[in-house]
Copies of this chain bind each other. A is one copy, B any other.
Amino acid sequence: MELKTRIDSAIQQNIARARVAPAPDQLARALDYACFPGGARVRPTILMSVALACGDDRPAVADAAAAALEIIHCASLVHDDLPCFDNADIRRGKPSVHRAFSEPLAVLTGDSLIILAFDILTRAATHEPQRALGLLSLLAQQTGMPNGICAGQGWESEQSIDLSAYHRSKTGALFVAATQMGAVAAGHDAEPWYELGARIGEAYQVADDLRDALYDEKTLGKPAGQDDLHGRPSAVEQFGIKGAIQRLNDILSGAIASIPSCPGEAILAQLVRKQAEALTPVTPAVAKA
């Protein structure tokens, strides 16, 4: 089975459980709407790739981990799009959840998806209690306070930003979750996989800054120029376009070098290289700038 099919199927099965009657219909539909059709499913793809590289000896646990991680990511997008944050009308090329449903339902969709993510990992305990608890702990660390994506967003309300903590928590956190949860789902230690996740996260942040600066709304599938608009710190502001692209490549080389020794090491390095190509903005846009 292709990875994306496996990931989508895991998400779909869990969203279906959250929709069992008597569920309020609109909120039930909003949960589905927020997760399908998905984006590139980057984080669960990395998670699954690490799990496979580590032997994937409990596929049901890796499925649960991938679904939980992507569902938390979708929850964060729904809340980030709210009028009080980015006030984004479109996401993944269609109306954002608060536009398609309503603002109350968007708040509830995010909340319900966060809870669902933890529920999915709890259920994975029927296969492997210790791995499930490890996964729950990693997910909580990388999503909540003081170091997860909530903290990352929280930094944007501060007068003075700790830039390193900001980037690590805002974008890096879910990539660290991806590599570490992939390892733990397959019975390996989390710690050696920290650096790969952190490096991919850094690369992704730089790539995101580049795309935000270079692309238009139609290409992005969401509003462009948001960093500049909201005065957010960005790699483009810091290094310029060319400097930021050079930095992206350096970080990805570092990521590949950091991959721990494991059965699927070579395949994983190839995946990171493929991600690198997907991340680097295409030449015409670069030329445009």
Q: Is the CB of A107 within 8 A of B79?
A: yes
The verdict on A154 contacting B105 (CB below 8 Å), with A112-B144, A112-B145, A136-B122 known, is yes
- The residue of chain B having its C-beta at the shortest distance from the C-beta of A135 within the complex is B122
In the complex, chain B residues whose CB is within 8 Å of the CB of A110:
107, 111
Contact (Cβ within 8 A) A23 B137: no
A31 at the interface (CB under 8 A from B): yes
Binding site for B on A (CB under 8 A): 18-28, 31, 75, 79, 82, 84-85, 101-105, 107-108, 110-112, 114-116, 118-119, 122-123, 125, 129-130, 132-133, 136-137, 140-141, 143-148, 150-151, 153-158, 162, 165
Q: In whole angstroms, how far apart are the Cα atoms of A254 and B221 in the complex?
A: 55
For the complex, give the distance between the alpha carbons of A155 and B245 in Å. Answer: 48
Question: Which residue of chain B has the shortest Cβ distance to A79 in the bound complex?
Answer: B107
Q: Which residue of B lies closest to A130 (CB)?
A: B129
How far apart sit A261 and B122, CA to CA, in the bound complex (Å)? 29
Q: Are B84 and A104 in contact (CB under 8 A)?
A: yes
Beta-carbon contact of A102 and B24 below 8 Å = no
Q: Distance in Å from the Cβ of A125 to the closest Cβ of chain B?
A: 5
Say whether, besides A84-B103, A157-B105, A114 and B114 are in contact (CB < 8 Å).
yes
Complex interface: chain B residues within 8 A of A116 (CB) = 140, 144-145
A133→B122 contact, CB < 8 A: yes
**How many protomers of this protein does the assembly include?**
2
Which B residue's beta carbon lies closest to that of A123?
B137
* A154 proximity list for chain B (CB < 8 A): 23-24, 26-28, 105, 108, 112
Task: Provide the bound-state CA to CA distance between A161 and B82, in Å.
Answer: 26
Closest residue of chain B to A107 (Cβ to Cβ) is B79
- Taken together as a complex, chains A and B put the C-alpha atoms of A138 and B153 apart, in Å, by 29
Return chain B residues, CB-CB under 8 Å to A133: 122, 125, 129, 132-133
**Would you give the shortest CB distance from A109 to chain B, in whole angstroms?**
9
- Knowing A18-B145, A133-B129, the reply to whether A115 touches B140 (Cβ < 8 A) is yes
Other-chain contact of A28, B18, B145, B148 (Cβ < 8 Å): B145
Query: Which listed residue, B28, B143, B157, touches A115 by the CB 8 Å rule?
Result: B143
A25 to B158, CA, bound (A): 7
**How many angstroms between the C-alpha atoms of A31 and B144 in the bound complex?**
11
CB distance from A72 to the nearest CB of B (A): 9
Cα A137 to Cα B115 with chains together (Å): 10
A-B contact pairs, 26 of them (CB 8 A): A18-B145, A18-B146, A19-B146, A22-B162, A24-B146, A24-B155, A24-B157, A24-B158, A26-B157, A27-B151, A27-B154, A27-B157, A101-B157, A104-B153, A104-B156, A105-B154, A111-B150, A112-B150, A112-B151, A114-B114, A115-B118, A115-B140, A119-B141, A119-B144, A129-B130, A133-B133
